[in-house]
Amino acid sequence: MSEARTPAQIEADIARRRQDLAVTLDEIGVRLHPQTIIGDAKAKAAAAVDRTAGRAYVAANRAMTEVRFRLVSEDGSPRLERIVPVAMVGVAVVGLLALRAKRRRS
């Protein structure tokens, strides 16, 4: 069985609970403040952009590594048997785009 509490103990308990409630209400007020909500939304958006940019960087890096692997030998010399056809396709695409642009202007 618990001992009976004195009025002073009860008052101290009430005062402590009031203080706890005040702290809780202050925390809720800060969380629900429009600036806090906007700041949280900005932080989440920035984190999403950072994740997306990081993924894009990794994908681009992986693609460049793959291209380098295909076009450069292990000793660092270019593989002309692969570079020349790629260059020719690039020149052909640029030429076709230039021809198309010229026809549109005419």
Q: Quick one: pLDDT at residue 2?
A: 64
For 6-33, the pLDDT digits (tens) are 999 999 999 999 999 999 999 999 999 9
Share the mean pLDDT of the chain: 92
Exposure string over 56-78, b if 16+ CB within 10 A, otherwise e: eeeeeeeeeeeeeeeeeeeeeee
In a domain, 12, yes or no: no
Query: When comparing pLDDT for 47 and 3, which is higher?
Result: 47
Whether 66 maps to a domain, the answer reads no
For the chain, what is the radius of gyration of the CA atoms?
34
Which pLDDT tens digit goes with each residue over 45-91? Answer: 999 999 999 999 999 999 999 988 999 988 989 999 999 999 999 99
17 in any annotated domain? no
pTM: 0.47
Domain count, the chain: 1
Structural domain boundaries, residue 102: 79-106
Within a domain: residue 62?
A: no
Is 64 within the bounds of a domain? no
